Amino acid sequence: MNLFLISGASGSGKSVTLTALEDSGYYAVSNLPLPLLKDTVFFLGNSGQTRLAITLDAKSAPDFPQLHETLAALRGAGWDVSVLFLDAKTDTLVKRFAETRRRHPFSTGERTLTEAIEHERQCVAGLREIAFAFDTSDLPSAALRGWIKEFIGVDASQLSLLFESFGFKHGVPLDADLVFDVRCLPNPHYEPELAPLTGRDAPVAAFLEASSEVERMFNDIYRFVSNWLPDYARDNRHYLTVAIGCTGGRHRSVYLVERLSALFRQHYQVITRHREMDDAKSAATNTAAKTA
């Protein structure tokens, strides 16, 4: 029996996430107050539902301290529980609310939109500590749906390791637990024949593998992550996101993420993301669809 709980910042893509899970066969419940969670899950389970996706109402945030007790009861009853936390940069959230002309749930006559966003973050901050975080800043809905559907296959009872490439010029991912800066490495972008390619392409890999600095950086990151993973696991962490950034997020960081993912996948559950490449792919797909 599988249960996905979804929380985070309003405007960060919680509805898109719930729809993606519903499309994958999950029974969806939107904005459920936390005090009703246990009874709702047991009721739906007794009605024959074994795959549930529920977004938690942020306004029930004062009840979050009792969440640990609720999760323990649900897991004791046989439910595999995964908690997802979605967030985005404040300016991205402001832009989304401006475009949709929706009212923020925590907006009042005394709070600006930015203040409402920060207030909500503070309310749900406790939940983020036990959740798998998704940074949806400037991320198209199609890419988010793809990430969620990939995450469905993860075993919630084991530690999941996510390697994510990104470009510093687009900002550091909000969901990162560990961040490594590899901008000091030789840059394939300045090689005319390599610039249009990515870190997944053999010519770029050959260029980087010819550098002793790249190999030293790879070994240092591998040793650091592998040495500390057992400690994260002992701390009851179920998810760890390792973000590796270069300037544009398409060459050096992609190459290292691909190589590290392949190595750690031999012993851990590994998810691989390439933020800038996923964004570009989704944008191209949406453009093609509109043209058709």
Does the pLDDT of residue 219 top 50, yes or no?
Answer: yes
Whether residue 193 is found in the same domain as residue 245: yes
In angstroms, the CA 210 to CA 38 distance is 56
Whether residue 141 is found in the same domain as residue 246: no
Domain count, the chain: 2
What is residue 156's predicted lDDT score, i.e. its pLDDT? 67
Whether residue 143 is found in the same domain as residue 184: no
If phi > 0 it is left, if psi is from -120 to 50 it is alpha, else beta; for residue 78 that is: left
What is residue 98's predicted lDDT score, i.e. its pLDDT? 85
**CA end-to-end distance (rounded Å), the chain:** 40
Whether residue 20 is found in the same domain as residue 43: yes
Whether residue 136 is found in the same domain as residue 173: no
DSSP 154: S
Whether residue 177 is found in the same domain as residue 279: yes
Whether residue 110 is found in the same domain as residue 169: no
Indicate the residue type of 287: T
User: How confident is the model over 39-71, as pLDDT tens digits?
Assistant: 999 999 999 999 999 998 887 765 666 788 888
Q: Which helix (H) or strand (E) holds 26?
A: none
The closest of 148, 17, 155, 138 to 81, measured between CA atoms, is: 155
Whether residue 169 is found in the same domain as residue 259: yes
Whether residue 138 is found in the same domain as residue 3: yes
Enter the pTM of the model: 0.72
What is residue 63's predicted lDDT score, i.e. its pLDDT? 60
CATH of the domain at 116: 3.40.50.300
Whether residue 15 is found in the same domain as residue 69: yes
Mean pLDDT of 249-254: 96
Query: What token pair was written down for 252?
Result: 């050096």
Whether residue 271 is found in the same domain as residue 177: yes
Q: Which of 103, 135, 157 is the last residue of a domain?
A: 157
pLDDT-based confidence at 282, cuts 50/70/90?
very low
Mean pLDDT of 208-233: 94
How far, CA to CA in Å, does 131 sit from each of 12, 19, 86, 124? 15, 19, 9, 11
Which domain does 202 fall in, by range? 158-292
The closest of 81, 37, 39, 41 to 57, measured between CA atoms, is: 37
Contact present, 175 and 190 (Cβ < 8 Å): no
In angstroms, the CA 218 to CA 216 distance is 5
More confident residue, 5 or 290: 5
User: How confident is the model over 104-143, as pLDDT tens digits?
Assistant: 888 877 888 899 999 888 888 878 878 888 888 877 888 8
Whether residue 168 is found in the same domain as residue 250: yes
The closest of 90, 80, 82 to 135, measured between CA atoms, is: 90
Q: Which of 157, 183, 207 is the last residue of a domain?
A: 157
112 SS3 class: coil
Q: Which of 157, 182, 210 is the last residue of a domain?
A: 157
What is residue 281's predicted lDDT score, i.e. its pLDDT? 57
